[in-house]
Structure 1
Amino acid sequence: MKYLRFFPFYVLSILPFWMLYMISDITYFLTYYILGYRKKVVCKNLHLAFPHKSEKEIISIAKKFYKHFCDMFFESIKLLTIKPSEIENRFKINNLSQLTDHLKNNENIMLYTAHQGNWEWLTTVPLFLEVNCNTLYKPLSNTYFNDLFILMRERFNVHCIPSDKGYRHLLHLKNNNVVSMNCVIGDQSPLGKSGKSQTQFFNQQTSFFTGAAKIAKKTDSIIFLPYLKKIKRGTYELFFETIVNSASNLDEQNIIDTYAHKLEEVIQKYPELYLWTHKRWKRDGITY
């Protein structure tokens, strides 16, 4: 049934990478030059993040970002059918031993992630580790695409949990002595009455969810920031930057401050690999 429901995406997914990148090039031209999808937002964000860069440098980063953004979409669709052996050839993990050592000691791990690199490919990490792996996500209002992304993300044994149920589920695992690796995206803008805290991020006072820090503390997790370096199209190297060796020893603000600081360092190195299309600072007083 799933093959019929998502038939167009399965057709795309079985295409070889070189053909997908031809389609991606066309999509980039349409997105950047014709439709101008969120170009004002992207340029505004880049100017805020890099105030000392020239207009020429900003445009150069923006174009590279849009090329990567289009590539990433088709690479993500490829998750529907890609073979594990091909993932292992295209997705290199630089310092996996950092994780395996903690897991052998029965310590929980939190991957405090961001919209950087191809974050959807992080769902393939269970191919390299034998561990109970969970990711918290905010359900999309469009159920078709919501179900499509769950299908892609769970293909390699990642358990997708709606954010509003995540705290209870992960605490249940902790109380039952189930060692787990849990993935939480930390760079989304908090909405409504969500728990939030502010810290400096690219020269702006920026709001962050406090939920990830609370979960890490309650589950006494080792926290890592995973980030990706793009070697070439369809080939990435994954790194793990330690944020906290024991979350129970720090307050939530300290965890968020450290996360924001390390994420900013990564984005400074690879600005074109960050998601610049969302209005990250809209609720913190910035007018778009």
Structure 2
Amino acid sequence: MKKIKFFPFYLLSIVPIQLLFILSDITYIIIYKCIKYRRAVVSENLKKAFPEKSDKELREIEKKFYHHFCDIAFESIKTLTMGKKGIQKRFQLQNTELIKDLFEQNKSILLYAAHLGNWEWQAFFPQYLSDHQITAFYQPLSNKYFDELMQIIRGRLGVLCIPSQKGYKTLMKLKAENKLTFNLLIGDQCPAWNSGKYWTDFLHQKTAFLVGADAISKKSDCAVVYPKCTKIKRGVYKTEFILLDSSPKQSEKFSIVEKYSKALEQNIKLQPDLWLWSHKRWKLTA
């Protein structure tokens, strides 16, 4: 029934990925050169983040970002039907022994991620961590059709998608059932003006960060890990796990958010075009 409902996307997803990249190139021309989708936002963000770079360098990052942005859309659709061999070829993990060691210590894990690389391909984690329940906190989309599609994409291999407002309660329920969990949380959104926030220096800006991950990890005592992402080539990503905190209950308030901000900043500087520059990250001012 779902395949009928989302037939155009399933049909597109069986197309070889190299042909999808041709469609992505066409989409890039439309989005970047014709529609000029959020180009003013991207340009302003890049100038703020990299004041030391020339206009030529910034424009090059901008173009690479839009190419990557279009690729993500088609790569995400490909998630609907990509098989085991394709996943292993295109989504590579390093330092998996860290994850295994934490699970052997009876620790659940909070993966404190970001809109960097192809975050939608984190839906492939069950391919590598099949013995543990993997959850993903998400904000439901206002369009119910696309919200359901994204849940199918993210949950196809076994990720349990949880609305963010129910994330902590669900995590504690699973803990009470003695289930070790690997929980995906994206933390680089701009907080709402009336929500809890932590201010720090980030990419040359005083930047507000959400504090939910800090609170959740302390209450649940989940170990906190950052997934450092690099793009090896088009359609191929590598993730290295970096431990931010193994015992959050013992840590100072907001220390995890601070560590996360520094890990994310270093990751962005490594390959700037991989971050989501089209969102208004600095709407709030200190």
Post-superposition shift, 1:172? 1.7
Corresponding residue for residue 191 of structure 1: 192
> Within 1, Cα distance between the matches of 2:171 and 2:87?
28
> Within 1, Cα distance between the matches of 2:178 and 2:201?
36
Corresponding residue for residue 44 of structure 1: 44
Corresponding residue for residue 266 of structure 1: 267
> Within 2, Cα distance between the matches of 1:149 and 1:120?
9
Alignment of 1:82-231 (within 5 A): 82-129=82-129, 130-231=131-232
Corresponding residue for residue 31 of structure 2: 31
Residues 193 and 284 in structure 2, CA contact (< 8 A), matched pair in contact too: no
Q: Structure 1 length normalisation: TM-score? A: 0.96
Whichever residue aligns with residue 47 of structure 2, its letter is H
1:282 partner SS: coil
Corresponding residue for residue 8 of structure 1: 8
Whichever residue aligns with residue 163 of structure 2, its letter is P
Post-superposition shift, 1:223? 0.8
1:191 partner SS: coil
Corresponding residue for residue 257 of structure 1: 258
1:189 partner SS: coil
Post-superposition shift, 1:192? 4.7
2:284 partner SS: helix
Post-superposition shift, 1:174? 2.1
List structure 1 segments (4+ residues) > 6 angstroms apart after TM superposition: none
Q: Structure 2 length normalisation: TM-score? A: 0.97
Post-superposition shift, 1:177? 2.2
Whichever residue aligns with residue 171 of structure 1, its letter is M
Residues 72 and 118 in structure 2, CA contact (< 8 A), matched pair in contact too: yes
Residues 199 and 207 in structure 2, CA contact (< 8 A), matched pair in contact too: yes
> Within 2, Cα distance between the matches of 1:16 and 1:260?
37
> Within 1, Cα distance between the matches of 2:253 and 2:144?
33
**Count of residues in Structure 1 that have an aligned counterpart in Structure 2:** 285
> Within 2, Cα distance between the matches of 1:174 and 1:166?
12
- The answer for unaligned runs of 5 or more in structure 1 is none
> Within 2, Cα distance between the matches of 1:193 and 1:45?
23
Deviations 1:16-58 (A, max 9, x none): 0111011000001111111111111001000010011000000
Whichever residue aligns with residue 228 of structure 1, its letter is C
Whichever residue aligns with residue 223 of structure 2, its letter is I
Whichever residue aligns with residue 42 of structure 2, its letter is V
Post-superposition shift, 1:167? 0.9
2:241 partner SS: strand
> Within 1, Cα distance between the matches of 2:126 and 2:104?
15
Alignment of 1:54-93 (within 5 A): 54-93=54-93
1:194 partner SS: coil
Deviations 1:138-176 (A, max 9, x none): 111111111110000001110000001111111122233
Deviations 1:223-257 (A, max 9, x none): 11112211111111111122112111113311111
Corresponding residue for residue 18 of structure 1: 18
Q: CA RMSD in A?
A: 1.1
1:252 partner SS: coil
> Within 2, Cα distance between the matches of 1:32 and 1:156?
33
Whichever residue aligns with residue 224 of structure 1, its letter is V
Deviations 1:57-91 (A, max 9, x none): 00000001111111111001101111122101221
> Within 2, Cα distance between the matches of 1:157 and 1:135?
10
Whichever residue aligns with residue 283 of structure 2, its letter is K
